[in-house]
Amino acid sequence: MITHLAVVMDGNRRWAQQRGLMPWDGHKAGVGALKRVVEFCSMRAIKYVSFYTFSLENFKRSADEQFFLFDLLAHELEASMPIFIEQNARVRFIGDRERFPERIKNACELVESSTRDFSTIYLNFLFCYGGRQEILDGVKSLAKALQDGHLQVNDIHEDLFSKMLWTQDIPDPELIIRTGGAHRLSNFLLYQAAYSEIDFIDCLWPDITEQHLGESLQRFEQARRNFGK
């Protein structure tokens, strides 16, 4: 069984387009898919679940779509608080905090503080996130520590660098699932994915089912993971 499942939720806009709907209708449908994944992981005691919620590149989308996405996130956070409490779920937002939109920053901080002591399942929403930017930020932190004399070059090792990343105390994902048909990571957990199994599921994100997830876990269990040995 895996400890950490990470998910690239791709295909919301195409799902809406296929139905003659607006892009934000696809994002709204995607919330139901996210809840299905959380329930699936909770039932199987998967401790960490990370969702690629909004990338730094997504700021290139239209202002209308961004506005809806942020309002949807704020609404769902408030509506999901009873579920987080019931499932003893700790919620974290991982990304460039300086880029968090002001109107939802308070909602994010409230959910984080309200669930800080929970520990049955850890839900990580990678928000205003980019893998390259995370690595660069970690390098800058190391450079600052060296410049200030808190570190020597020989003190630098993998574990130390991992602690400089935004995901610092989260284990690397054993399995990354991506829906939507594309076969790429799209700047998602680039450092942490070094030994992850990556499963590309041929469905759009709102259509993901428990069967899809179960089959993905089965493929993971059948994979040879010898880490170069």
- Residue type at 55? S
Q: Which two tokens stand for residue 227?
A: 């880490």
Write down the pTM of the prediction. 0.94
Per the residue annotation, which of 58, 71, 96, 187 is the catalytic one?
58
Give residue limits of the domains in the chain: 4-130+171-222
Whole-number mean pLDDT of the chain?
94
Closest CA to 166 of 95, 220, 82, 93: 95
* 226, pLDDT greater than 90: no
**SS3 label, residue 93:** strand
pLDDT, residue 152, reads 94
Q: Mind listing the pLDDT tens digit for each residue in 120-142? A: 999 999 999 999 999 999 999 99
Give me Rg for the CA atoms of the chain: 18
Q: Residue 58 catalytic?
A: yes
**CA–CA separation, 54 vs 222, rounded Å?**
31
Give me the mean pLDDT over the 184-206 stretch: 97
Q: Note the pLDDT of residue 1.
A: 80
Q: What is the pLDDT of residues 91-130, one digit of tens each?
A: 999 999 999 998 899 999 999 999 999 999 999 999 999 9
CATH level 2 (architecture), domain 4-130+171-222 = 3-Layer(aba) Sandwich (3.40)
- pLDDT digit string (tens) for 35-61? 999 999 999 999 999 999 999 999 999
Q: pLDDT at position 229, please?
A: 61
Q: Is 10 a catalytic residue?
A: yes
Predicted confidence band of residue 19 (pLDDT cuts 50, 70, 90): very high
Cα 168 to chain centroid distance, Å, stands at 14
- The first and second tokens of residue 212, run together, are 């899809």
Backbone dihedral region of 91: left (phi > 0), alpha (psi from -120 to 50 degrees) or beta?
Answer: beta
